[in-house]
A and B are shown apart, each in its own frame.
Chain A
Amino acid sequence: MFERALAGDRRYWGLVIVLLFIIATGFITYLWQLKMGLQITGMSRDVSWGFYIAQFTYLVGIAASAVMLVLPYYLHDYKAFGRITILGEFLAVAAVSMCVMFILVDLGKPMRVFNVLLHPTPNSILFWDMMVLSGYFLLNIVIGWTVLEAEKNSAPPPSWIKPLIYLSIPWAPCIHIVTAFLYAGLPGRGFWLTAIMAPRFLVSAFASGPALLILLAMILKKFTKFDPGTKPIQTLAKIVTYCIIINVLFVLFEAFTVFYSQIPEHMRHFEYLFVGIAGFGKLVPWMWVSMIGMITASILLVIPAVRRNHSTLALACVMVVVTTWIDKGLGLITGGFVPNPFDRITEYWPTAPELLISIGVWAAGFLILTILYKIAVSIKEELG
């Protein structure tokens, strides 16, 4: 099947070359980071995780959201998703690949990463995260590839794939729950120390992932002969609507507990993010854009006419993707580290090399996605 990724029109190759160029830029910057160490990033003794870990966290959500297609299709036999389930699975593969790359570029000693396997440590959530992420990657690439190959041959998929598909359904939320547990179990980090972290991760993932899928499906429809159909997009739009509303609610629940209880160790982080402390407030405008954007998107998506019109739906989806990204990809990690354990403020902002490396990783993920989607779409086009 892979040969389909090697035959494409000029637009396809143009995209591949542009992505390769961005990847190369990121890779060269990464070599510089390998030589210089993580001092080329904006991270510090006080904010010891930054943009890389935040992107990782956001992308785990995107990966997990494939289950929003797989579950209705395989458990409820919701046939409308049959055409696009593969898009969700391949998006998960690309997203998990990016997660792994973001973890790698964040390590001070990347050449020692296999120490995690050499010295397995079940009391470390990071160990479990590595386990569930690699398992999820394998599940999705094997399932996606096998089902697509069967579809190409107009044959039913082999019988051994079905248990794997069922396994992948509970596995998907697990990757995001474990990722939330990375943060939610740390004493002394009041911003993260909340039981709603995992549920919030899940709903924001199930809003942002399907929103991204809608946008990707629209792009495919515009540039290829593959038509995902209106019905699956409309169903996905409803999933996005429910999840983004629940996400807004979860943020408000958290805000209630934090501000009504008035416990400083929990409140200070919210103060830093939403009003700033002692003149420090780099993230304040971003957080407000995120919150107002999320609420606006919720209101827009509730209106049936907005959802049915694909231009307005696309706009709402862009809002969901961007606002949830600000929430997780910018605010969540930094917010947990500011103020620091000494109740002092050290701000964080990614540096140019840090952004170049991050964009390189995003481009690598997008290249994987482009190739996988090219294969899937070519086969779907042939079958008509």
Chain B
Amino acid sequence: MALLGRPSRHPPALADGLTARCLPRYALPVTAAAVPVAVLGLFAVTGLQGVAGFVVVSALLFAAAQTALSYLVEGRRSAVDRLCTALLCLAFAAAALPLLLIVGYTVRQGLKVVDLQFLTHSMFRINPEKVGGGVYHAIVGTLVQALLAAAMATPVGVLVAIYLAEYGGRRRFARLVSFVVDVMAGVPSVVAGLFIFTAWILVLGFQKSGFAGAMALFVVMLPVVIRSADEMLRLVPDELREAAYALGIPRWRTILQVVLPAALGGIVTGVMLGVARIAGETAPLLLLVSLNQRIEFNPFAGQTDPRPQETLPTLIFEQFGVAAGNAESPPFQRAWGAALVLIVLIGLLNLVARFVARFARVRG
């Protein structure tokens, strides 16, 4: 455990007393060097091949070899310890590798098409199967809808969080609200999309629009905002409230002018993380926003001319469909370009959120 200082690299004398034998220092590097060579030989002799196979076999063989060495020299308990340590390291590698692969591949593919033209032009009058055009219209749509959803979710979410943290206490109604917020956090985003689709479009008869998409995003984002704001408000020390009451300030003004400002940084972080989450949402938007090649700033634009706003995720899915599985075709390249833009956008939101969190902790 980090807090404890590390146990020494070689577990100190175990049951055998102070003279327990340890693997010499050079043992592990030598093993690490010998294993890939051995695996190369193995690959040459047998029919095995492939980079992935080589890495996996080497890693497992290294874990096994050092365990065996340790068992011979240091005994069973150390061997188990070394084996499990190696496996935990491998687990971390297995988790970090996909991230590097996915982000790396997206960047490599995306950079082939992303340039100033790509970022500042729409797909209007561009044949999607040919090279050209850009995703400006989709960036506009994603930003407008995400901000609209945030503009709806933030006030409602913060009010609910204030109720839960300040007024609710252990009252039955507060516990019910808290439970429903948990349920809401578990609603699949495609179901949120279906809900708006049935309620807004089928029953009430409105057209598909950016606003309909924003409403579905609102349903997805609301529980995120409520949970984070609730937690932040509870972190504000009671002494602040007591001091305010002692000065004769009514409760609502205490909340608005003392408690909320103290928790503001955390609440803003929660909102930013919520926006980052919904900016990448695809499923509800596929149901609620339809294809459009033009730049459209108005989220209320309906199905006929002008058409609803395009967004980055829906654009990626459409171009993926146009490409029909051909990874070298222009629409597929365009999809990767849009994916890169989307990842950078969400990454920036996350970074800003962390930045805000670091410099605006709950003050007491």
**A and B together in one complex:** no
